[in-house]
Amino acid sequence: MSNEDDDNEDEDFAIRHAYEKYGVNGYYSQYGSDYRNPHEARLIIIVRQLVEKWNLKPTERILDLACGSGEITLILRQLGFQYINGIDPYTSEAYEKRTGNSIHAKWTFEQIADGCLESEGEIYDIIICSFAAHLIQPSYLPLVMIQLRFVAKKLIILTPHKRPQISPEWGWILKDEFVHERIRARLYTCDE
What 3 state SS string does 46-68 have? Answer: HHHHHHHHCCCCCCCCEEEECCC
Is residue 128 situated within a structural domain?
yes
Is residue 14 situated within a structural domain?
no
Q: Give pLDDT, residue 38.
A: 56
Question: Is the overall model pTM greater than 0.85, yes or no?
Answer: no
In this structure, what CATH number is given to the domain that contains residue 127?
3.40.50.150
Backbone angles phi, psi at 87, to 5 degrees: -130, 140
Is residue 3 situated within a structural domain?
no
Is residue 76 situated within a structural domain?
yes
Is residue 16 situated within a structural domain?
no
pLDDT digits (tens, 9 = 90+) for 141-177: 999 999 999 999 999 999 987 889 999 999 999 999 9
**CB burial class (10 A; 0-12, 13-18, 19+) of residue 4?**
exposed
Domain count across the chain: 1
Is residue 47 situated within a structural domain?
yes
Domain interval for residue 59: 37-190
Give me the long-range contacts of 78-81 (CB less than 8 A, separation at least 24): 79/47, 79/48, 79/51, 81/56
Question: Rounded mean pLDDT of the chain?
Answer: 84
